[in-house]
Amino acid sequence: MALIVQKFGGTSVANTERIFNVADIVTKTAAAGNQVVVVVSAQGDTTDDFIEKAGEITDRAPAREMDVLLSAGEQISMALLAMAIDKLGFHATSLTGWQAGIQTDLSYGAARIRKIEPRRIRSLLERKRIVIVAGFQGLNSHDSITTLGRGGSDTTAVAIAAALGADLCQIYTDVDGVYTADPRVVPGAKKLDEITYDEMLELATLGAQVLHNRSVEMAKKYNIDLEVISSLTRNPGTKVKEVTSVEKMMISGVACDKDVARIAVMGIPDEPGKAFRLFSLLSAHNINIDIILQSIGRDNTRDISFTVARGQLDETVKLIEENKERLHFTEWSSEAAIAKLSIVGAGMTSTPGVAAKMFEALSDAQVNIRMISTSEIKISVLINEEDAQRAMRAVHDKFFG
């Protein structure tokens, strides 16, 4: 007997037929003699619809009330699934995040799980019940409902798997697993049988929308065996683990993130402390900086370019304008129509020429590289957004074609 956590995303529970499909997967797993804890997302576009509804009332919804609203979607799914499972003749009990003992920090809209007190889940499992937990939500120390950020149900599932010491955490979704690139953009993309936590983490952070990146972080920390699998085809999915058993591929994937904006601050005096002043200002306002490039400007000055998430562009520009005197620059510019293309692979460290191969592909496709950044297992380039699709295909073809 194994203890298995199964998470089902929004498309997997989108309608009555899909809910019965999930009930079938869950009850088959239970009937095979396993203990099953199910984590569900809100049905289809429910969360987006709620955000829209709130927007009809106000564009300044109190963060606390926004979380009360958004958490309702998962509560609908869990009850409907419990009913479907009951109809199939099995016993299921649904629990909200707080009933399941999920405690978070205070930050509404992007809360982090602090601790899970799984007593109630355990006692239900001992009483041979299938336990269904609402994803994406918890309770903070003020006893208020919090949500974990968009896509956060994956993190709920992995956190519960860790708290229970589960044998396996399956993330059921509408794709067959993790691909070498988004198959909607790159027709030749291939499904990976296995991928390491580190590679998956990079891909998740770089815009491959398969798993919530915090869920991968947590899976790595607690060494949880993860599997990304389709609830619709039920084909074997992709296993995410510490080391893969197949020979390490040089590159495991190509990802493209369009949620990027670039800002350049020019004519900063070439003296110590200036970059510090700029970036400490931005960090004090919780603005996340990604790629940074510094270049020589005219007359003993330098230019600093960096990227932020597109949603933070306006705020960043406003801060820079407001602090013009303090920062001593002459001018600034910004652009939003750019994208970050990355290749990820644990095998990169031991293989020379990976960057050259990527740049060759981009050059052949006539794609201009604006900035470059590298880490041990990834290479990212900033390109114009209009080139994104062409660039992705060219780079993917070069490594996998």
Which residues here bind ligand ASP, judged by CB under 6 A? 9-10, 41-42, 47, 73, 135-136, 150-153
Binding mask 216-245 toward Mg ion (x if CB under 5 A, else -) reads ------------------------------
Write out the H or E segment, with its range, that includes residue 384.
strand 378-384
**Which are the contacts of 103, defined by CB distance < 8 A and separation ≥ 6?**
113, 114, 115, 116, 117, 138, 139, 140, 141
Minimum CB distance to Mg ion smaller for 9 or for 101? 9
Q: Which amino acid is at 298?
A: R
Write out the H or E segment, with its range, that includes residue 50.
helix 46-57
In whole angstroms, the minimum distance from the beta carbon of 30 to ligand ASP comes to 23
Residue nearest to Mg ion (CB): 10
- Measured between alpha carbons, how far is 104 from 88 in angstroms, rounded to an integer? 34
In whole angstroms, the minimum distance from the beta carbon of 99 to ligand ASP comes to 18
Cβ(332)–Cβ(294) under 8 Å?
Answer: no
Minimum CB distance to Mg ion smaller for 13 or for 125? 13
135 binds, among Mg ion, ligand ASP, none (CB under 5 to 8 A by kind): ligand ASP
Q: Which amino acid is at 349?
A: T
Minimum CB distance to Mg ion smaller for 232 or for 369? 232
In whole angstroms, the minimum distance from the beta carbon of 151 to ligand ASP comes to 5
Pick the closest to residue 164 from 205, 132, 119 (CA basis).
119
Within 10 angstroms of residue 86's Cβ, the number of other Cβ atoms is: 14
Three-state SS at 259: strand
237 binds, among Mg ion, ligand ASP, none (CB under 5 to 8 A by kind): none
Minimum CB distance to Mg ion smaller for 156 or for 252? 156
Strand partners, 302: 268, 296
101 binds, among Mg ion, ligand ASP, none (CB under 5 to 8 A by kind): none
Cβ(174)–Cβ(11) under 8 Å?
Answer: yes
In whole angstroms, the minimum distance from the beta carbon of 327 to ligand ASP comes to 37
Instruction: Tell me the site size for Mg ion, rule CB under 5 A.
Output: 2
Binding to Mg ion in span 18-77, by CB under 5 A: 41
Minimum CB distance to ligand ASP smaller for 10 or for 118? 10
CA within 13 Å, CB half, 355: 13
Tell me whether strands 113-116 and 253-269 are parallel, antiparallel or unpaired: unpaired
Minimum CB distance to Mg ion smaller for 209 or for 300? 209
In whole angstroms, the minimum distance from the beta carbon of 160 to ligand ASP comes to 14
Residue 303 tokens, joined: 């230019």
73 binds, among Mg ion, ligand ASP, none (CB under 5 to 8 A by kind): ligand ASP
Binding to Mg ion in span 244-273, by CB under 5 A: none
215 binds, among ligand ASP, Mg ion, none (CB under 5 to 8 A by kind): none
Tell me whether strands 145-147 and 92-95 are parallel, antiparallel or unpaired: unpaired
Minimum CB distance to Mg ion smaller for 27 or for 155? 155
Write out the H or E segment, with its range, that includes residue 238.
strand 238-241
In angstroms, the Cα distances linking 141 to 21, 98, 264 are 37, 11, 41
Binding to Mg ion in span 92-111, by CB under 5 A: none
In whole angstroms, the minimum distance from the beta carbon of 20 to Mg ion comes to 20
Three-state SS at 95: strand
Binding to Mg ion in span 4-23, by CB under 5 A: 10
Residue nearest to ligand ASP (CB): 153
Minimum CB distance to Mg ion smaller for 35 or for 41? 41
- Measured between alpha carbons, how far is 132 from 13 in angstroms, rounded to an integer? 13
Residues that bind Mg ion (CB under 5 A): 10, 41
